[in-house]
Structure 1
Amino acid sequence: MVEPQLQQELFPILLRFRMHRYAMSADIAKMYRQVYVHEKHVDFQRIVWRDAPTEELKDYGILRLTYGTPAASHLAVKALQQVARHKMTEFQSSAEIILRDFYMGDHLTGAHTADELVLHASEKAYAAVAYARTKYLDGKIVVNLVASRTKVAPLKSTTLPRLELCAAHLAAKLIKQITACLCSPESRMFGWTDCTVTLACLQGHPSRWSTFVANRVAEMQEILPSECWTHVRSESNPADLAYRGMSPSSLLSYKLWWHGPPWLSSSSYVPHEVKRQDHTTQLEMRKKTAAVNVAEPSQHWTLLAKFSSFSKLKRVTAYVMRFIDNVRNCAQTMPRKQTGPLTSKEIQVAELKLISAKKPLPRRISLLRLQPFVDKSGILRVGGRLKHSNVASDVKHPVILAKSSPLAKLIVADIHKFTLHAGPRIMQALLGCWCTQLNS
C-alpha cells in the first residue's frame, strides 16, 4: 500500500537554505538500511536464495527496509521524524530542524531576513520574481533575488490583460509560499505590476468581474490586500526576462535580475508610503442581468401527476371517457349506455388520448434527426425511411415521448418494474415508443 507523503517540499527547503549566513548540509548514509522492520513484519519480506544450482534453497527474512517497495520511503521518513519527536524535549532545536529541513535523507539548513515582488506577462510567457529587501542597523540596504516563477502562455489564444492577471496570480501564490517559509511577523510584502488593468481588477470587488477574473482576484486579495499592489514602469521590471530571454553569460552581470530595480535599494524609498493610484477598466466587467419570472400554465395534464402507475392511469382515463360518451348519448332518442368491465378497445383509445399532441410540433435540434410528424390522431411519431417497409404501422412510426414528461416517467416506471429493473436496451424494446434520452 502506498502511504501519504511525509517529507517537506523541496522548494521551501531550498528557499530557507539560501537565507542563512552559515550553511550546513548532511546526508543519512544508506537511509533505508538504517531502519529495522518490526519482527512480526519480517515474514512479509522474504527471499529464496542459493549460490549455486547444486545447493539447497535457503529462505531469508529481510530485517530492514527494502528499497523499491511502495511503502519504503514513507516508513523511512516516518522513522526519522519519530526519532525527532521522541527527542524533542531533550534536543528541541535539533528536532525542529530535522522535522523542517530534511528531504528524504538529505539535509539542508543553517543559521542566521521583508520582501518585494515584481511580475510581468507577454503573449509567449509570464513570470513573477521575488526579492528580499533588508535594512541593516548601520543603514545599509541590500536587495537580493529570492525566487522566481515562469510559465509558458497557454496554446489557446487569450488576451494580454488576462495573461497579465495570470502573472499577478502566479506572484500571489509565490508570495504565499515565501511567507510560509521565511517571513517573520514584522515582515511586509508588496506586489508590483506594469499592467494598470490588473491593478484596476485588484482594486475592485471580485463580484464586479467575469468568472475568470473574479476567481483569481479573490484568491490574490486574500493573500495580499489590494493596497499592497503598485504600478512599476516596464523598464524597471525584471520579469520582462520571461519573454525576452537572455544568454547565461549576460544574465550573470544583469543587475536588474539579481537585485531588482535600483530604487528598491534607495534609502529614500519607503514601501508603505508609496502613494496608491486608483485605476479603472471596463474590461472583464460582469454583465448585469435582470431576472424576470413569467408564470406559464403547465404543459401537462394535471391528472398525470395523481397516479404512480400507467396501467391505473389508462383505466381511469378510459372510465372518464366512457362517462363522457354515456352523457352525450343520453341526449339521443335511442341512448346506448356502455357498462360493465372496460374493453381492450376502450383502454387502447384512452392510451392514444393520453399520448396525443395538442401543441405545435417542437423544433428542438435533438428531434430533427427523427423526422417527426403528427399523425391524424394528433400523436407525435418518428418519420424516416421505414415508412416504405413491410411492417406494422406502430413499428414503422413509434410514438415519441419526452423524457421529462410525467407520462413518459409513468410508462418507463411500469416497464422497469415489469422487467425486474432491466437495462435500457430491454426497456426500449418493450416500450413500443421512442423515449428521448432514455439512457439518462
Structure 2
Amino acid sequence: MAVFLALRCLPTLWRNFGGFSPSEIHVATDSQVALSWLISGTIVSRNLFARNRLKDIQQMSAELEATLGFSPSFRYVSTTENPADLITRGLTLKRFKACLQFWCTGRDWLSSGIRPWAAQLLPCLSQHSQVVARSSWNAAILQGEEPPTVLPLERFSSFTKLLRVPSLVLRFIHRLRRLEVYTERLAAILLMKTMQRQRYAEELAFLRDSSGRTILGLVRDLDLFIDGEGLIMSGSRIARSLHFDPEVKHPVLLAKDNPVTRLIIRDAHTRCQHLGVESTLAELRRCGYWVAKRRPAVKTVLASCALCRKYNARQVLPPPQCGHLACFTC
C-alpha cells in the first residue's frame, strides 16, 4: 500500500516542483515480500486486495514511463531507515524529540547521493531479484521486458557453451558494480524467460491476470504457475513430497522446438552417457526441466547425435562363405 501511495503522489510532486525532468526515480520499501512481488510482477498469494494494488502499481509505472521516458525503480531499505516507522511502531515524546531531525529530513543518504540498497541483505528474494534490487537496472527489466536475445543460438553445440557468452557479459557488468552473483544461473534464467515469452505469451498473460478468463488447457494439464524469478513452472503429483528437490517437484517449462531446449536435451543426453530416450527424460526431470511434448522432442535430438548413430548402426557383415561351386561348361 505504501508503494501504491508513493506512485500516486509522484505526479502531484512533479507538478508542484515546477515540472522538472528527473533522470531517475527510486521507490524504496522496507518490505522484502512486497519488493519480490514488484520485481517479479506476480503475487504468490490469494489476497485479492494485494493483487489489485499490484495491477495499479504496474499501470501507474507504465503511465510514468510514457510521460518521463522511464519507469521507477523499486528498492529496499532497512526499517531503521524508514522515518514513517517512528509513529507506526510507537515511541515516547522524549524519543520522538531525539529523532525529530530524522523525522523531518530522513537519512543523510537521501541528499548525499549514496545508494544504501547496494549493500542490503535480502534473504527473502531470489538471486535474480537480489541482483536487480541492488543494481541500477530499470523497473521495465524487472517486469520481464528485457530485449530478445541477440545470440545466434543455432551456432552453439552445447548448453554450457551457450551460457558462457552471457555469463561473461554479466560477470563484467557485476564486477563494475562490485556485485558477487552466480552469473551462469542468471544467464540461464534470462534465456529461459525470453524463450517462454516468445512461445508461451498467452499462458504467461493468463497466469499474470486470470480474472474472468477461461483456464487454458496447458495451464490446467501441467498446473502451471509463475515463480519468484518470473519463470513458468509446472506442478506435479509429487509436489507435496518431502523426498525430492524443489527443482524436481516444480520443473521449468520449456518449448520443444526452441534452440535452447535442444541444447538442454543434448546436454542431458551427454550427462547420462548417451543412453536412450527414457534415461534422457529422467535426467531432464532430475535437472528441473519439463519439455512440452517431451518424448518427440528428445527423439528428434537423439536422432541427430553422431556418437549414438555411430554405435547404434547395424554392422554390415559379409555374406557367409559358400562352398566350391561346380564349374559348368557348355
More RCO (CA 8 Å, sep 6+): 2
Flag the structure with higher strand content: 1
TM-score interval, normalised by the smaller of the two chains: 0.3 to 0.5
Bigger Rg, which one: 1
Output the TM-score relative to the length of structure 1. 0.27
